[in-house]
Structure 1
């Protein structure tokens, strides 16, 4: 099914909306007015296509490139600069107008480039659907374009097919479907045509086949009950489209700061304009003074600096196998305090693995994870000797011979061809040293009873030379009821102790293991075929194999680091509650426990919880199982309602809405669907949960460096604004002109401020808790420092300006001195901003060489500003002599000494507070 521009399929009329999974097939056929043998006629198909539309999903209309570019100007501070541009043009101050508008335009271009490409999740959904479907129409089977399907069509599927729409199964034979991308179920689901309870969650609707899910085994026939937008995948698309594009903590803080600054600037500009008019000065001159105040107070370089700093963060994260699709996601990671993780393929290997075997009344542990056939079988922490336990040897042999799956190595990666559960038994046997090719030569297969859901087992007949052997594997119930003997380690046969075996099964299942049993029987020599009658009774019970999709070892370590950093990790999965709880316990999640295992809340229980109660449940619970896509979305929203900054990881179609709703969505790069990747802000190239911890660390470092930049740049804007304000109050001409202020703001932001982006991570960055979402960028202490440095800039620039005027310098020279003073003092202050609390000796004088390169480049540009005639004409500057330059540098040294003393005493004060707090703990 593909996305098109035409309208998607309509919903069924009200009288046709039913819980199809809970109805018997005959009722479904009657409601949809179709015969399973003949299907729909061509006339009925045309009528229904007219009524319901084609089997496509309605695409989401995207903003045009022009609109997205124009929205870059939709910022409060930009409005002031645009207004200043227009008025200065009207006043024929063309140089000022051009420079001001150039700054605005460059910011708009950078912001436009920064935006990620438009969301492609809906297109990806189309790619996940089949292009063809086999249907019965007019009493004949035929292949049609899946877009032409309508409700009531009879669809036939078999192994390797994808369901082209949502289908109510009418009949099936051994049908298994991989629904992991939709529900998070880690193993293929056995389907049947029997109705289920109306309130069963998506993963339990065994009578349904859902659009885009893959048939792994068997075949089935069903009737289409939903197409296009009305399929479960279509509903996910609508959830993705409706999910909010949330602002990040950084964008929220900068927006709040911008609005505050907007009103402060407007207020001061009005005051300045009023004072000028009261003094009897001309409107044009007075307005230019107000413009000077505005451009001085606005941090024009902030958007550029933020963008470039985030881009550098993206580069660092890419080196740690985390690809960032949206720049602001870099900073969001630094403030994340909850990670909601999918289980299958994210916290786990997504590879079924046999972990425990019980044979001959002895328990064995199987080492090694995933499909790689490497590992040991241990008994009491010692490598097991197969020669001492005949039952174990035959249990493993039955698992590999009575099997239609195989394990293959391709480009260093091991995969299973066939059913993952069967494949796990092949891998377990290979770990014990069995080789399928050798076994098949010694005991070639003669006949097979394939697995059927009705019988719940598979059996194979083998020629063992002087005898014929039947191997059988399947559900514990199916094998037990056919067995009357059990094998001991020495090969002796005893009566089956059903109660003891059932107890062993319960113990394995309580650990989240899926348990299969193995048995065998001898057949008369020369037997060439077998039937269910041959396996009805008289089997020898060999043992149990317990398997699970195991947790990644790296994920265990990463979860521990995240929790140490104050980040709460939650598992939200479509898998069963017992399995989810067992995995969560192994991984080390914290939360309410019963009998040593974490308590899991199921999707059915979530349905009963009202939204206002869900917030508390979501915050206190760590494991959610059998959860549907819309419930994942509810949980993310509930956590956000508690002011949590939520990161959501996932890889399936079912994770798409929650990934988009989360403050930061994290998709898996290898196993992830295109839907998940396109809905996420970050993609892990190695599918490794541990990469998230590294990305969080980088995110915190990026925010630290952004804060350092803001603390460095704001005093300049404050100082420039104060210079203009004081000049107006005392009736002086401006020490710096608007274009000179813009020169300082833009050049220093790029050449000086951006060097802070290369500051290395400070010690203990992952030992502190996440920043509270409501905490402002500037704390009270940092505001006091901003005021201190702003006043020092005012005193130095104004003082040197008046000193030069008194010494007979020209106005252009005095203004050049004032402008250069701002630049030089910012360069000296830059050293202090390398750490907001630690002295230079602790962070190292040469750990960031970019500081020195940036200062050298800035001084070179400032020399051009001072001594190049073209620059003198453009900016109203003039050459300076050596003594003037030395006085400026002297002021810079004084500023650095004062700020260093202030930081030293504040650092000592903070250290005393931390020592007292540590003693109290």
Structure 2
């Protein structure tokens, strides 16, 4: 179908649509016509984008600079005959390739889940007969019959309905079921307000209807989302981008230094063989072989910690991305709010009342002017609560703190408000049994129930619905004593507007005392002459823990924005309560914006609106995606929450996509990097803090391991420059690197979060991986390792030690010096005493393992043979530990000086 037609089915008359699609509402399509249309339009399925083969996708994972460095290292190890070490490093490379392959595959899984959303059966009218067919066999023009429990199989224009309600939350984000009616609408009506359209993959929750298929497969709204998913590129994370850049630089530096070393050696007149060994030693020394493995382990530990805080990470690098997050775009219902409608205000007989307590737990009281109200002394108020209880099809179940609603959440809120007034449900149901009902119908906008009052021996009708539909049927209202007096509609509308500005959903209630012999109820019975009782205003209340988390995010320099399918008034009121915006009245256009307003903005205007607005209401899936892209274009690291199919493209595009574990669709979960098992915003804030801790630990590890590599490289470069024998052999450099990474550096992965982590601003994506402070410390420690290692090496040779003994001393300077430096690497700011000496016991285990390994390297004959080492004396160890103490002391003093200068 054309785009123009696709956009405007909702604005056409039903008969015109049937005519345009050449169908028949009485008999449906003929079988021959169905075959023709299937050939023309294809099947009602989604097209999954063709991708490169799994083998090619796997091989592409090796196309990275850091992997090239590691492959070079493998070649070096094989040359040296270190086959075990070569196998270990290859295992690291292979593991990282597998992880990357799995990450890329998740996008394909999201599309597969989306395709599965269409697999269902449908009841259609063909050749005058009702038939059950597979939904993929539907064609444009088919007449489809729907009833409660069915999944909508395609995009359908409603032709007729009876009390039809659709759950469109997965598509539009609307928190409650939507009433449907067949009347034509204006062309500019937004997707969420198209009450005469049924969209593929939504659910029929109540009633029945008949409609005509207007779009199938890729042309449906869900098909449109599938195209967005196909075309949405998954972003690399800030850390992976920086590591990639760092790896390229490191590769060039190593090659440059190796070449320079070779040329200087030639100038000194050294042999080709010895220079080749020196270049190999330099390459091995400066390659951080353990970097990918340790980074993966640090991220995995972060994943494990987050799982204990109701957060499941599906994509390892998402852990560090959380630490860089600058903006969180959150859904409203169930994430920022409790997803439990709660009555908060009542209005009867020109009196206002408040109800305390939130959610479905019936703990709270009714108050007037901050004083507890005795409902028994307020006949009209009691009548309002009784009306909400009797004109109701839901049930309140539970005990103590475990309460649930069976039925509509709005009706459930009315039950809870009645329970808070201590009304005896069973007694009232017995005294006033229901005789008949007029169910809620969208064209009437009310529900009515007929009851026989045994006590008064009369029939009473209670009616609830929209304010407009109820008021037009009322001629009087009940005064403070429960007596009918002439109604003044303007006063009631003032109260309605006041409640609406607070984001409350308002229901009106009325009653009618009828003839005692009436046994059935019709719309004519309640057309006029009713007595207006009052209003109940309800809201899905904010989560208290979410409010605290939003405040914590503000302190941490993270903006929180609400993106919802709900109306702008409701969304803005909730945002104000939660502290997302300070004032609604002062400058509303800068804090809230609707989907319609977003449509007309160009790229620059959208970026500006995305920056300034805190609330985005009534937005479409494509607009959600555009908001995320606009924020990213402005340099932000964006986290996006979602639970529905409509959220999937934006969730996938975001730097960190977050899906809801309880209410989330499989499509949203597959597109996400992270899943909240409790659907609670507070869990996001906890995950961000954990992410910051992980990012901190990764940077600490880099600072630690690069100081080691830099020191080793300096030792070899200086030896070449002064034309001296190499103090460290390639196999010994390998030993230093692997033990430093595994025994020492890895222990930083278990470092607890530093105090004040959420009082700092997010780490900006534009900042380099290593700041000036860290680079200075790497140089400082590297120079001290150079001085200690080279100095003690020369000292040993001068006093007559063998070359093997001198090299053993040089290697152990690195082992001990790194152990002392590790204690200072636990924090860039604080001393080990400030952090707590025993808050990370892994540190001491690592140091003990390193000392044990060094003793084995020095004294075991087999290690002496493999690594060209020799036993050394006690004085040598005292000199080595002296270097370690100097390194620890100098770095500690440097920290103190730097902190004092900052303050």
Q: TM-score if structure 2 supplies the norm length?
A: 0.95
Work out whether residues 80 and 294 of structure 1, in 8 Å CA contact, stay in contact via their aligned partners in 2. no
Work out whether residues 620 and 646 of structure 2, in 8 Å CA contact, stay in contact via their aligned partners in 1. yes
Between 1:45-54 and 1:60-69, the stretch displaced more is 60-69
Paired residue secondary structure (1:883): helix
Work out whether residues 389 and 488 of structure 1, in 8 Å CA contact, stay in contact via their aligned partners in 2. no
| Structure-2 separation of matches of 1:291 and 1:845 | 39
Q: Which residue does 1:730 correspond to in 2?
A: 722
Q: Which residue does 2:414 correspond to in 1?
A: 425
Alignment of 1:343 onto 2:335: no
Paired residue secondary structure (2:757): coil
Between 1:262-271 and 1:526-535, the stretch displaced more is 526-535
Work out whether residues 164 and 208 of structure 2, in 8 Å CA contact, stay in contact via their aligned partners in 1. yes
Q: Which residue does 1:917 correspond to in 2?
A: none
Q: Which residue does 1:7 correspond to in 2?
A: none
Among 93, 114, 137, the residue aligned to 1:148: 137
| Structure-2 separation of matches of 1:474 and 1:188 | 15
Among 686, 689, 711, the residue aligned to 2:678: 686
| Structure-1 separation of matches of 2:144 and 2:689 | 51
Among 522, 538, 545, the residue aligned to 1:531: 522
1:362-397, CA deviations, whole angstroms, 9 ceiling, x for partnerless residues?
111222222333332222223321112111111111
Work out whether residues 183 and 203 of structure 1, in 8 Å CA contact, stay in contact via their aligned partners in 2. yes
Work out whether residues 345 and 651 of structure 1, in 8 Å CA contact, stay in contact via their aligned partners in 2. no
Between 1:437-446 and 1:334-343, the stretch displaced more is 437-446
| Structure-2 separation of matches of 1:425 and 1:584 | 24
Between 1:16-25 and 1:362-371, the stretch displaced more is 16-25
| Structure-1 separation of matches of 2:179 and 2:112 | 30
Alignment of 1:710 onto 2:702: yes
Q: Which residue does 1:806 correspond to in 2?
A: 798
- Residues 595, 545 of structure 1: alpha-carbon distance in 2 compared, 3 angstrom cutoff: farther
Work out whether residues 825 and 891 of structure 1, in 8 Å CA contact, stay in contact via their aligned partners in 2. yes
Among 754, 767, 776, the residue aligned to 2:768: 776
| Structure-2 separation of matches of 1:39 and 1:740 | 82
CA positional deviation for 1:282 = 4.2
Q: Which residue does 2:503 correspond to in 1?
A: 512
CA positional deviation for 1:627 = 0.4
Among 553, 556, 559, the residue aligned to 1:562: 553
Between 1:373-382 and 1:220-229, the stretch displaced more is 373-382
Work out whether residues 581 and 591 of structure 2, in 8 Å CA contact, stay in contact via their aligned partners in 1. no
Work out whether residues 405 and 422 of structure 1, in 8 Å CA contact, stay in contact via their aligned partners in 2. yes
Among 849, 855, 867, the residue aligned to 1:875: 867
Paired residue secondary structure (2:23): coil
Structure 1: gaps (5+ residues): 1-11, 912-921
Alignment of 1:498 onto 2:484: no
CA positional deviation for 1:884 = 2.5
CA positional deviation for 1:869 = 3.1
1:842-896, CA deviations, whole angstroms, 9 ceiling, x for partnerless residues?
2222222221111001111222222333333333333333332222112211222
Q: Which residue does 1:915 correspond to in 2?
A: none
CA positional deviation for 1:86 = 4.1
- Residues 908, 15 of structure 1: alpha-carbon distance in 2 compared, 3 angstrom cutoff: closer
| Structure-2 separation of matches of 1:682 and 1:805 | 58
Paired residue secondary structure (1:73): coil
Paired residue secondary structure (2:443): coil
Work out whether residues 856 and 863 of structure 2, in 8 Å CA contact, stay in contact via their aligned partners in 1. yes
1:790-823, CA deviations, whole angstroms, 9 ceiling, x for partnerless residues?
1111111112222222333333332222112111
CA positional deviation for 1:472 = 1.1
| Aligned residue runs from structure 1 range 408-447, under 5 A | 408-409=397-398, 414-447=403-436
Paired residue secondary structure (1:174): strand
- Residues 50, 895 of structure 1: alpha-carbon distance in 2 compared, 3 angstrom cutoff: same
Q: Which residue does 1:103 correspond to in 2?
A: 89
| Structure-2 separation of matches of 1:307 and 1:139 | 63
Work out whether residues 636 and 646 of structure 1, in 8 Å CA contact, stay in contact via their aligned partners in 2. yes
CA positional deviation for 1:53 = 2.3
Paired residue secondary structure (1:99): helix
Paired residue secondary structure (2:44): coil
Work out whether residues 572 and 584 of structure 2, in 8 Å CA contact, stay in contact via their aligned partners in 1. no
| Structure-2 separation of matches of 1:18 and 1:708 | 54
Paired residue secondary structure (1:562): helix
| Aligned residue runs from structure 1 range 844-883, under 5 A | 844-883=836-875
| Aligned residue runs from structure 1 range 433-472, under 5 A | 433-465=422-454, 466-472=457-463
CA positional deviation for 1:621 = 0.9
Q: TM-score if structure 1 supplies the norm length?
A: 0.93
| Structure-1 separation of matches of 2:623 and 2:4 | 26
Pairwise CA RMSD: 2.2
Q: Which residue does 2:571 correspond to in 1?
A: 580
CA positional deviation for 1:606 = 0.2
Structure 2: gaps (5+ residues): none
CA positional deviation for 1:87 = 6.8
Among 360, 376, 400, the residue aligned to 1:371: 360
CA positional deviation for 1:230 = 2.1
Among 657, 669, 681, the residue aligned to 1:677: 669
Work out whether residues 820 and 888 of structure 1, in 8 Å CA contact, stay in contact via their aligned partners in 2. yes
| Structure-2 separation of matches of 1:364 and 1:905 | 62
Paired residue secondary structure (1:517): strand
- Matched pairs, number: 897
Alignment of 1:719 onto 2:711: yes
- Residues 432, 62 of structure 1: alpha-carbon distance in 2 compared, 3 angstrom cutoff: farther
| Aligned residue runs from structure 1 range 762-911, under 5 A | 762-911=754-903
Paired residue secondary structure (1:363): strand
1:224-272, CA deviations, whole angstroms, 9 ceiling, x for partnerless residues?
1222222211222222232221122211222222122121111111112
Between 1:488-497 and 1:275-284, the stretch displaced more is 275-284
- Residues 402, 31 of structure 1: alpha-carbon distance in 2 compared, 3 angstrom cutoff: same
| Structure-2 separation of matches of 1:863 and 1:33 | 89
Paired residue secondary structure (2:476): strand
Work out whether residues 67 and 93 of structure 2, in 8 Å CA contact, stay in contact via their aligned partners in 1. no
Alignment of 1:639 onto 2:628: no
Q: Which residue does 2:310 correspond to in 1?
A: 321
